Structure 1
């Protein structure tokens, strides 16, 4: 039980700390605005420095691909459009349960707007119990619980690509096939009037899978390869994919400003800032995050310039290198990530951002498709109990004896405390 009396004694110290931190944050923001204006005047030079000295930087700085003073109004979404989203949840393996296995549940959402089509809201569960599923990761020093999370990420991308392919291959709503004897020109006009509505694929969170960096090549390929294959399918279908990040903690864009505040001719960090006991002179904005700065610079409905992430793992992404921008969605500053083939196609990029903003508005601050995908995927306490109940029935039918949870798990479930 939480002792509120003892906790109340610490509240005053927290409030005083937050007051001082708010003042410091305002000062950092003023400094950041000054730096971004200075960096705008020598943006080309700074980008060249970043590319030349990338291997000598001790921080990850994104590269701007548009002028730093870019502010773009996001287009209004068309009435007719389709949004596809997936999200995943899981039941983790436990030695205290009746069997050592895990479950991945991927929520699937397809929402059609202005098309008189029924939505899709369901989930795809998959149980993993084979030894190659449970223990393959241990040869690389990766716990089964961690590996399960990585497999879930790959499953979300694969299921999303399957939905995109199915939608892209379907005929546009309302296009009638040409009947025998019908004039050809009339049919052509009918098709011209009923072009296929734009479609957007969405996932919750970043498209940059940082957790892959320290993994061995063989393990990394098992996760990254199906993800990139899924993105290839979406590119072939002409459907942009967006990674939507709410309350982003990234500082990649602000790290670019460290090149501007560097006092040395060359940003050679190991040479000039090798002494780890002193704070580097370019680190004047920490712990400020990108969203704080763009919250000052953007108006509702505007996006920031596009940036290309410099994360090391993106060297393995090929043509899918991740670009991002910050969008003022009204309720917050959201980070929106897209692959390079979306960022380089103005039509796809505009469609992706306009549909994303429309989703946030429909969801009252968060994309409704992602919220519904989460609701479909989440495994609640009752679902977990029914899952293990079904498993227990199958094990008994198979003739297995002594089926049950450990004494520890049984005691915890029946605790009188």
Structure 2
């Protein structure tokens, strides 16, 4: 038995306790929490078989009362002595996709991002489409290509047509991009035909993860009219290995920046779920952007309410993401198409002017949020490296 060491200022202190799935060499994947630079094996600490599962889904399905009781037990345990066999240095374990993804929906909730893309794609029209301030716009993504941080991303191929080309061509994407996002994981689903109200958000959502929604902008631009993103998005979406529980984000809750016109009644609630999360984007190890989630127009509670208002069911393991997080300043833009203004205003990375991703590039997104008593809550990182497109067979 020994105390779990937590360095001063660690974003993984007892106020956080994010959940993940890990394995040791030769061992099976199981559920743990991160405390400092240690993963605590919950199957050993709590002696509960639900934490010996290779994903968080069985535990998440048990609901908010169970989540609260487990969090209280873990918080009390890690403040004292923990069995040595339950402690594993983070550097010595393999981190897995923390939950089985049931469905994946990506929203478009940043007014700054949506307006910037509107100006880029439709320079002679209003930046925002007429529906944008009336509902959280989103698209249904591909759950099977959601991968954990550290998984390489193969450059996608597809049809692309530049404005100066008469006809489309097929080949690897030439405008490969990122989208820095915050994702939310459903723990308790809802039956087909039911709706989840804005004020029921915390009864259904287990926690939050970092998301990089990799985007092939040239494929996307050619295909998205009239039905929206498809091959330009579906090749890979990366998530962080740690799920930060909603309970750890209470000190980060803030009012939304203001919604005008007033949303329809099903999108209004008694509680605000704006979040003060500060993100950092690094390109080949060099910081290029700091997207602030606090500027997001639509809250995750509104996203979930809209997602289910037509009676669509929610399931344990559903992931819905915010869309690109961008702020009002250039250095706060969470996608390279915005940051470089469509490639016309390159940024300097390691002494080289860059606009879109090249093979071998690595992108890391990290984030923290305010915690109690001046602490910070860490989300960890979501990282991916671009690999060349597969050669056709």
Return the TM-score normalized by structure 1: 0.25
Instruction: Kindly indicate whether structure 1 or structure 2 has the higher relative contact order, using CA contacts under 8 Å at least 6 residues apart.
Output: 1
Q: Rg bigger for which structure?
A: 1
TM-score (norm. length: structure 2)? 0.26
The structure whose residues are more often helix, as a share, is: 1
- Considering fraction of residues, name the structure with more strand: 2
